[in-house]
Amino acid sequence: MINWRAKEKIVQIILLLFAFSSIVFLTGIIIVLFKEGLPIFQKVGLIEFIFGKEWYPTYYPPEFGILPLLAGSLLVTVGAMLVAIPIGIFSAIFIAFILPERLKNVVKPVVELLGAIPSVIYGLFGMKILAPFLQDVFGLPIGLTALTAAIILGIMALPTIVSLAEDALSAVPSSYRDASLALGGTRWETISRVILPTATSGIITAIILGIGRVIGDTMTVLMVAGGAAVIPESFLVPVRPMTASIAAEMGETPVGSAHYHALFGIAIVLFLITLLFNIIADLAQESFKKKVTGR
Amino acid sequence: MIRSKLYLILFAVLLLFSNLIFASESLIIQGSSTVLPIVQKAAEVYMEKNPDVNISVRGGGSGTGIAALLDNVIDIANSSRFIKDEEVQSALSKGIYPVPHRIAIDGIAVVIHPDNPVDDLSMEEIKKIYTGEITNWKEVGGPDRQIVVISRDSSSGTFEVFEEIVLEGEKVTAGALLQTSNGGVINVVTSTKGAIGYVGLGYLSPALKAVKVNGVSPSKETIISGQFPIARPLFIFTNGWPEGITADFINFILSAEGQKIAEEQGYVPLF
């Protein structure tokens, strides 16, 4: 029988290997991404790739300008945030301060459950119910538009935003709240002038992680955004976000062709954008921790 | 303890040899989702007749299929387009000699919403609609309604054929909605009054209205006779001239029975 010290050591090594594995996967993904994607930048140039207005990858000569795709992604993301941020933050305030404890333990898990629904189901809902509805309301030639995608993605981002924002609000020490109330502040004054400012960076983290979910979503935008690679002039036209392009085109693209590298090029752009958002979220989280713990 | 390990080993050995025990030979096929229904059905019938053969058929797209053939991991690649020059170059450098076999013809029908009164478009008109020159149905004798152009994403085999035959290399308007499958096109066309799209002949249904092209409606007869202009051959590719079980299976698809299967799946047989 081996002694407990050796056992401890073995368990430690196994855990280390597992912990290390995600770093290995991440590194692997990054290496593949850049290895397959960088050739396109040599071919068309970074500026031309990002700011080119024409995405015609299979023509002769092919054109690899991803601006319409980038614009599609950004428009849908901004729209989704316009939907999700107000609803998300007000829900979080309501859950954190107004709802009785007993109901809070029901409502919060239900909101979080919204996040467990697979995106293809959101897509079906958007395609079959929301799109025809918007088509009627606005008298559009087609209901699959940036707005449709933005609304659905906004709903999809809600669980992340509500849950994390509520955590941030609840993490504000109750002494802050008590002090404000004791000084004669009303409940709304306490929430808007004391708690929200304290929790700002935590709420920013919540919003940014919500954005991360939206910008990376593929299935829903593939189903409801319409898929036209034009630079959108309004919310009511079809768009083709970056993720949808990659998913739609990869299957039939000859491996190793310029088009194939261009799709990986888009993936690099997408990866850098989400990485940036995650770094900002991390920094905001740090500053929030400092604020509430006073260190 | 020892006994359970023995069982485990026995099980692993069985697993290893299960192919040999249950099916002495196997074929792996991959590629175009357009060709898939024919080959899938043909494989089922073929396996019923030859229980010792195991055929697995996967989709994934023409490009994926040909790439897999080039990597020598499959026996047959399905493709709804001919192999491209760059793929041939890549094949030769890997020592692979792709051989095409024509197995059926696919007609591409231009479809509109059933409520749309337009029923005849010329190739020129279709081309102008898809390049964005014509944007309203009234320009082609329909109601005053904006045309919603539905296309397939630019790497699909159906798109490539449509582009070659109808657009003659010109660009589809950037405002076209790109769908990833025949099903996606049908979905949008049936729910959008002003839509125009194109699908394989096998996907026609009463929910869609197939327009006449240059006065010819799409059907098996008009495609075989060559009157209907938008048609394409479907291929399967093998590495080198097929032998043994691969050759036998291809002969089956090309036999009267195999061609009947292709027809049942909604395609046009070679004879």
The domains located in chain A, with CATH, are 55-293 (1.10.3720.10)
Question: In this predicted structure, what is the pLDDT of residue B2?
Answer: 58
* Token couple for A45: 């140039």
CB contact under 8 A, A257 and B86: yes
B107 Cβ under 8 Å from any chain A Cβ = no
Asked if A238's CB is within 8 angstroms of B61's CB, the reply is: no
Say which of A58, A227, A257 has its CB closest to residue B177: A227
Torsions phi, psi for B162 (to 5 deg): -60, -45
Gap between the Cα atoms of B56 and B26, Å rounded = 8
Asked whether the beta carbons of A73 and A82 are under 8 A apart, the reply is no
A110 in Cβ contact with A155 (< 8 Å): no
- Tokens representing B148 are 């919603």
Verify whether the Cβ–Cβ distance B195 to A256 is below 8 Å. no
Closest approach of chain A CAs to the CA of B147, in angstroms?
8
Q: Is the pLDDT of residue B237 over 50?
A: yes
pTM, entire model = 0.75
| Of B86, B145, B178, Cβ closest to residue A228 | B178
A59 touches chain B (CB under 8 A): yes
Minimum Cα–Cα distance from A55: chain B residue: B174
Question: Rounded CA gap, A226 and A56, in Å?
Answer: 17
pLDDT band for position B255 (50/70/90)?
Answer: very high
Q: Give me the residue from B63, B86, B176 closest to A228, CB to CB.
A: B176
Q: State the average pLDDT over residues B160-182.
A: 86
Q: Do B188 and A142 touch (CB under 8 A)?
A: yes
* Sequential pLDDT tens for chain A (295 residues): 678 888 899 999 999 999 899 899 999 999 999 999 999 998 888 899 999 988 888 777 888 999 999 999 999 999 999 999 999 999 999 998 888 888 988 998 898 888 889 999 999 999 999 999 999 999 888 889 999 999 999 999 999 999 999 999 988 888 888 999 999 888 888 988 888 888 888 899 999 989 988 998 889 998 899 888 888 888 999 999 999 999 888 876 777 788 899 999 999 999 999 999 989 988 888 888 887 776 5
Considering CB atoms only, which of B61, B87, B177 is closest to A252? B61
Is residue B41 scored above 50 in pLDDT? yes
Residue B60 at interface with chain A, using a CB cutoff of 8 Å = yes
B2-105+233-264 is a CATH 3.40.190.10 domain: yes
Contact B62 A256 (CB under 8 A): no
| DSSP 8-state class, residue B113 | -
Residues of B in contact with A241 (CB under 8 A): none
Q: Where in chain B is the domain with CATH 3.40.190.10?
A: 2-105+233-264, 107-231
The answer on pLDDT for B20 being more than 50 is: no
The mean pLDDT value for B110-131 works out to 93
pLDDT in tens, B64-73: 899 999 999 9
Three-state DSSP state, B27: strand
Segment (H or E) for A237 = none
The reply to whether ipTM tops 0.85 is no
Average pLDDT, chain B: 86
So what's the pLDDT on residue B93? 92
- How far is residue B80's CA from residue B159's CA, in Å, rounded to a whole number? 10
When pLDDT is averaged across residues B193-209 and rounded to a whole number, the result is: 89
CATH number of B107-231: 3.40.190.10
**Which of A58, A68, A237 lies at the smallest CB-CB distance from B154?**
A58
Question: HSE on the CB side for A241, CA within 13 Å?
Answer: 30
CA neighbor of B200 nearest in space, from B226, B223, B177, B168:
B223
Asked if B18 reaches chain A (Cβ–Cβ under 8 Å), the answer is no
Tell me the average pLDDT across B8-20. Answer: 57
A253 touches chain B (CB under 8 A): yes
Q: CB distance A228–B145 less than 8 Å?
A: no
Mean pLDDT of the region B10-25: 56
Q: How confident is the model at residue B263 (pLDDT cuts 50, 70, 90)?
A: confident
| Mutual angle of helices A242-250 and A67-93, in 10-degree steps | 120
The chain B residue lying nearest A263, using CA atoms, is: B155
